[in-house]
Each structure stands twice: as structure tokens, then as C-alpha cells.
Amino acid sequence: MYNTMDMQLIKFQSHGDERGSLVAIEHGKEIPFDVKRIYYLYDTKTDVARGFHAHKKLKQILIAVNGSCTIILDDGKERKSVKLTNPDEGLFIDSFVWREMHDFSEDCTLLVLANSHYDEADYIRSYDKFLEMAKS
Ligand code: TYD
């Protein structure tokens, strides 16, 4: 059976040479959905945590393009933590997974690719409600 908590780190090919590094993400190749929205978190304070929600339908890929942060994933049965430190890896987060973002480094820029537009109705912001919905 498909498990939303299976290892979901996607390694991107980094094209590096003496000038530096470059990662390209192309439609239909590196990631398992069509990207409809891109946003990024930056200037995040080191002592704050963000997220604390799940999505009913939305799927996302998180990439720490600079710096690092720790992502906690929770499917209602299991909780795990993944530290993003590399601009050449993306963390896939499926729908119905509770996520929290912690320990942002001062220089962290967290890029997010999403498969649909912003829709507040897609958010589950109560952890208790999430647990209830995850059970059914
Ligand atoms: P919020 O959901 O609080 O961010 P996080 O999950 O990182 O804690 O979003 C912060 C604000 O940005 C909030 O007012 C909603 C707005 N926002 C958009 O307008 N579009 C978006 O795509 C996202 C993700 C947030």
C-alpha cells in the first residue's frame, strides 16, 4: 500500500563546474505533479516555527535553496523529521500530511513548488481535526 510517509526526498541533478552550481527542474521530469504555484520563505526568524497545517488536496515540494531548516511530517500515525540542507534535494509532501517547519538558519530560503493555487479552503489548521480526518 502507498504510504505518504515513505522516503520522499528527491535528488536533483546539480550541474556544477568551477563557476558554481545549477539545478534545473523541468515540467514532467523531476517532480510528480504539474507546478501551478511557487512561493518562498525567507528572512525567517531562527526562533519561530511555521506551518502547523495539512492540506486536503495540495501536494508540494520543499527545497532549501539556501541555508537549512527542519521539517516535521506527521500522517496521523507516525511523525518524522527531515533536515533540509541541500539545494539539490526536494522534499515531496503529499496531501493529508501535517507539516511543521522548525530551526530555520538565518540565511534560509525555502522554495516551495505546489500543484495548485493558494486556497484557504484546502487547509486543515487544527491538529485534532487533522487526526480525525486522517483516521477516516
Ligand atoms: P501561512 O499559511 O501563515 O504560512 P506558513 O504555512 O509558512 O506558516 O501564510 C502566510 C501568509 O501568506 C498568509 O497571510 C497567507 C499568505 N499566502 C498567500 O497569499 N499565498 C500563498 O501561496 C501562501 C502559501 C500564503
- The yes-or-no verdict on residue 6 having pLDDT over 90 is no
**Residue 134 Cα to ligand 1 middle (Å):** 23
Grid coordinates standing for 54?
495539512
Q: Which of 75, 68, 59, 64 has the alpha carbon at shortest distance from 111?
A: 64
So what's the ipTM on this one? 0.93
Name the pLDDT band for 135 (thresholds 50, 70, 90): confident
CA 35 to ligand 1 center in whole angstroms: 17
Q: Which atom of ligand 1 is nearest to the CA of 118?
A: 22
Pocket test for ligand 1, best of 118, 122, 124 (most atoms within 8 A of CB): 118
| Digit-coded pLDDT (tens) for 79-116 | 999 999 999 999 999 999 999 999 999 999 999 999 99
Mean pLDDT throughout 27-38? 93
Q: Ligand 1, atom 9: nearest CA belongs to which residue? A: 51
Catalytic residues: 53
pTM given for the model: 0.94
